[in-house]
């Protein structure tokens, strides 16, 4: 029997819950747009469907993964944020994809803080990184607001060169 | 869906369970090899891991998916079989892959037959197809042993695949196809009995 549960995490303005089939239109729109250029996109709808399936399977394989981030006031899904460590990753990562129209409100930072809290407090991680494409200045600013600092680079077969940002240790946050 | 129960199927020699983390190395070995050339491979390790995770996510999204085929006794894995319909697939597919060094024992036939019966009898499927590369002769022959016939008019995934249509639940129940499959599986289990037309793989 293959069983797993994706916990729900609440922040002041956001609900982080497991991704579902109903999220597909919003996720497909994001990965079809140029907004996804720093995170492996643009992708076809077919590729995005498999990616969404992969987001869910990540939870089953590792016991953690990324959440669909829902704006409490509107109920809209505004991004995919959480913990990510597929095979070949340098070490477990905190990642954030913020969808079009939800920028400038601090949602990525708020959700990533919740994800980091989950990693440190629930999973017992002792460190965490985030990977950011060098040209992705908006994402680098989120990493900075989270207190993460540049810590080398990582070359990936598909994503190319990525800057590694290391988060403050659990005892420092 | 926050919670998933992937059913377990049992046959004479096999147990079919949902894909688990412990089975990933076997999956990666095959999908990074030439064996996977008709299933979108060979894949690098990132692609292989993502596909394996997607195999599990497929169950959550569709309510069906691919099982890992285990030996009943030793629990070792032999391959995968089940249902598959990612975005872009015109119809629900019944699919299988056997690890290269486990071919020739009828495991794909036994597992796929059990998967198809589960989809027909428990999930209420009214039919299914298999999308097969025309060069994949082993799979074409297995589709035919399962009673599927080439459907020249069916929509394909991308024009590079042949569509084999499985017998309907009613036709499968009617006896001849199911009896033939059962006979062939029994022949693998007890090879002393060798009828004419024994498949060479």
What local confidence, expressed as pLDDT, does residue B40 receive? 85
Burial class (CB in 10 A: 0-12, 13-18, 19+), B136: middle
Cβ neighbours of residue B112 under 8 Å, at least 6 residues apart? B81, B94, B96, B142, B146
User: What's the structural domain count of chain B?
Assistant: 1
What is the predicted pLDDT for the residue at B175?
A: 81
Pairing label, strands A14-17, B66-71: unpaired
Flag whether B16 is in a domain.
Answer: yes
Instruction: Average pLDDT across each block of 10 residues of chain B; the chain has 201 residues. List them in order.
Output: 73 97 96 90 92 96 97 98 97 97 96 98 97 96 97 96 97 91 92 68 62
Contact of B10 with chain A, judged by CB distance below 8 Å, is answered with: no
Cross-strand bridge partners of residue A130: A165
Q: How many CB atoms lie within 10 A of CB A82?
A: 31
So what's the pLDDT on residue B31? Answer: 95
Residues of chain B in contact with residue A88, where contact means CB-CB under 8 angstroms, are 44-46, 49
Sequence ranges of the domains in chain A: 9-125
Residue A62 to residue B52, Cβ atoms within 8 A? no
- Alpha carbon distance B95, B191 (integer Å): 26
> Residue B34 class from Cβ within 10 Å (0-12 exposed, 13-18 middle, 19+ buried)?
exposed
Average pLDDT of chain A is: 95
pLDDT in tens, A112-133: 999 999 999 999 999 999 999 9
A42 preceded by a cis bond (ω within 30 of 0): yes
Q: Which residue range(s) make up the domain with B38? A: 9-189
Nearest to A90 by CA among A162, A145, A36, A148: A162
pLDDT of residue B193: 64
B1 assigned to some structural domain = no
Predicted complex ipTM: 0.90
| Confidence at residue A5, expressed as pLDDT on a 0 to 100 scale | 87
Cα–chain center distance at A162: 15
CATH for B56: 3.40.630.30
**Which residues of chain A fall short of a pLDDT of 50?**
1
Q: How far apart are CA B108 and CA B145, in angstroms?
A: 11
CA–CA–CA angle B147, B153, B157 (5° rounding): 85
- Closest Cα in chain B to A50: B54
Are B62 and B95 spatial neighbours (Cβ–Cβ below 8 Å)? Answer: no
Give every CB contact of residue B142 below 8 A, 6+ residues apart in sequence. B96, B108, B109, B112
**What is the distance between the alpha carbons of residues A154 and A147, in angstroms, rounded to a whole number?**
20
- Strands of the sheet with B162-165, listed across from one edge: B9-10, B14-17, B66-71, B77-84, B93-98, B129-132, B162-165, B149-150
Contact B21 A3 (CB under 8 A): no
Please judge whether A50 and B86 are an interchain contact, meaning their C-beta atoms are less than 8 angstroms apart: yes
pTM for this prediction: 0.91
* Cβ–Cβ gap A2/B52 under 8 Å: no
Chain A: nearest CA to B1, how far in angstroms?
Answer: 6
- Give the Cα separation of A29 and A54 in Å (integer): 17
* Chain A residues with CB-CB distance to B17 below 8 A: 1-2
Would the CB atoms of B61 and A88 count as touching at under 8 Å? no
Per CATH, the homologous superfamily of domain A9-125 is Gcn5-related N-acetyltransferase (GNAT) (3.40.630.30)
Nearest Cα of chain A lies from the Cα of B180 at a distance, in angstroms, of 31
């Amino acid at each position: 029997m293959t069983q797993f549960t994706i916990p729900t995490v609440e922040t002041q303005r956001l609900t982080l819950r497991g991704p579902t089939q109903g999220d597909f239109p919003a996720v497909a729109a994001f990965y079809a747009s140029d907004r996804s250029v720093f995170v492996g996109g643009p992708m076809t709808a077919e590729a995005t469907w498999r990616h969404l399936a992969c987001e869910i399977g990540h939870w089953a394989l590792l016991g953690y993964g990324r959440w669909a981030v829902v704006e409490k006031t509107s109920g809209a899904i505004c991004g995919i944020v959480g913990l990510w460590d597929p095979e070949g990753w340098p070490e477990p990562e905190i990642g954030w994809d913020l969808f079009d129209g939800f920028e400038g409100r601090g949602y990525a930072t708020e959700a990533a803080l919740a994800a980091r809290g989950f990693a440190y407090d629930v999973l017992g991680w002792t460190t965490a990184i985030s990977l950011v494409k060098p040209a992705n200045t908006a994402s680098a600013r989120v990493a900075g607001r989270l207190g993460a600092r540049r810590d080398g680079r990582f070359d990936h077969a598909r994503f190319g060169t990525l800057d590694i940002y290391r988060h403050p240790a659990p005892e420092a946050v | 869906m926050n919670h998933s129960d992937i059913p377990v199927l049992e046959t004479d020699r096999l147990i079919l369970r949902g894909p688990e983390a412990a089975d990933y190395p076997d999956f990666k070995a095959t999908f990074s090899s030439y064996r996977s050339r008709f299933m979108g491979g060979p894949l690098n390790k990132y692609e292989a891991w993502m596909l394996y995770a997607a195999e599990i996510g497929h169950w959550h999204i569709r309510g069906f998916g691919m099982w890992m085929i285990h030996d009943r006794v030793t629990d070792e894995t032999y391959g995968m079989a089940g249902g598959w319909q990612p975005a872009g697939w015109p119809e629900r597919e019944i699919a299988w892959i056997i690890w290269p060094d486990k071919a020739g024992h009828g495991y794909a036939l036994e597992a796929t037959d059990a998967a198809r019966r589960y989809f027909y009898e428990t999930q209420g499927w009214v039919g299914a197809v298999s999308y097969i590369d025309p060069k994949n002769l082993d799979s074409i022959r297995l589709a035919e042993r399962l009673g599927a016939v080439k459907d020249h008019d069916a929509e394909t995934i991308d024009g590079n695949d042949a569509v084999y249509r499985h017998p309907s639940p009613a036709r499968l129940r009617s006896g001849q196809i199911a009896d033939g499959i059962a006979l062939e599986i029994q022949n693998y289990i007890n090879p002393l009995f060798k009828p004419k037309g024994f498949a060479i793989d």
